Amino acid sequence: MTKKYSYILAITGASGAIYGLSLLKALIEHSYFVHLIVSEPGFTVMKEELDIFKGGYNYKDKAKISNNVNPEISNFDAKQEILNAIKLNLTFNSNIASDAAFNSYFEMFELLDEKFLESKIASGSAKEVKGMAVVPCSMGSLARIACGISGNLIERAADVVLKEKKRLVVCPRETPLNDIHLKNMLSLYSSGAVILPLIPGFYNKPKTISDIVDFITGRILDSLSIENDIYERWEGYNGKYNEK
């Protein structure tokens, strides 16, 4: 796989971490480098929903990026656990069945601490960044992004993407919604973001959880203007019912 343009992917503390991992996989398979940020609540959700980060260590510390500021901290273990979770929970193409091909994914993303505000993606100078997706997006993260608070790298990166007129896709996962949630979504929409709730369609007759996840992943890629054939698209009704 070769690196070209990149995307920012944030996983926050709402339910549905598998959607975020599916998008990570899809972006890598389309040869995009991914700047992955997982919030502290996001790690907790991944731990509970995907049965990872249970090795007895402080998974938050393990997720800090190895950089010149903190060169002694490695995020190798956390990245490996994320890849293993993808391998266990999602369907892979036959061309990456081997361990060697799977391990090539490791070089196609970095894992950034949400407190690492010195990151390059916290600035509009990161011209190679094409856009950003927050999948899933908690109502707290959505509210802070809508208000431009920029208290962590997720919020700051989203603010930068909006100010640079790039595509920001926000995928809320909450139900039911109150008027505060709806007003915050409208505020983000008015600022140029795409609001893409994690609500699957069923006209493609999904048979597995992966089919449902793929539908959402495909719609996110569509919103990022990335061509894909991950999900079966609606081709119109032919006016005939199958009679039994």
CB 108 within 8 A of CB 28: yes
Higher per-residue confidence, 48 vs 180 = 180
Q: Give me the chain's average pLDDT, please.
A: 87
Does residue 228 lie within any of the structural domains?
no
Looking at residue 184, which CATH number applies to its domain?
A: 3.40.50.1950
Is 128 contained in some domain? yes
Q: Is the pLDDT of residue 184 over 80?
A: yes
Query: How far is the C-alpha of 168 from the C-alpha of 194, rounded, in Å?
Result: 6
Predicted local confidence at residue 71, as pLDDT: 37
Statement: residue 73 has pLDDT above 80: no
| pLDDT beyond 90 at 241 | no
Q: Is residue 183 part of a domain?
A: yes
CA 75 to chain centroid, in Å, comes to 18
Q: Is 118 within a domain?
A: yes
* pTM metric for this prediction: 0.88
Residue 217 lies in a domain: yes
Across the chain, how many H-helices and E-strands are there? 9, 6
Predicted confidence at residue 104, as pLDDT, reads 84
Going by pLDDT thresholds of 50, 70 and 90, the confidence category of residue 57 is: very low
Q: What is the pLDDT of residue 235?
A: 83
Give, rounded to a whole angstrom, the gap between the first and last alpha carbons of the chain.
49
Does residue 243 sit within a domain? no
| 27-41, 68-82, 109-123, 134-148: the lowest-pLDDT one | 68-82
What residues make up the domain containing 178?
6-223
In this prediction, residue 58 carries a pLDDT of 54
What percent of the chain is predicted at pLDDT more than 90?
65
CA distances from 225 to 40, 44, 116, 120 (A): 29, 31, 28, 23
Closest C-alpha among 200, 206, 220, 210 to residue 8 = 220
Asked if residue 236 belongs to a domain, the reply is: no
Would you state the pLDDT for residue 100?
A: 67
Would you call the peptide bond into 136 cis, given omega within 30 degrees of 0 as the criterion? yes
The pLDDT value recorded for residue 89 is 87
How many structural domains compose the chain? 1
The answer to whether position 1 is within a domain reads no
Per-residue pLDDT for 96 more than 70? no
Structural tokens at position 137: 């997006």
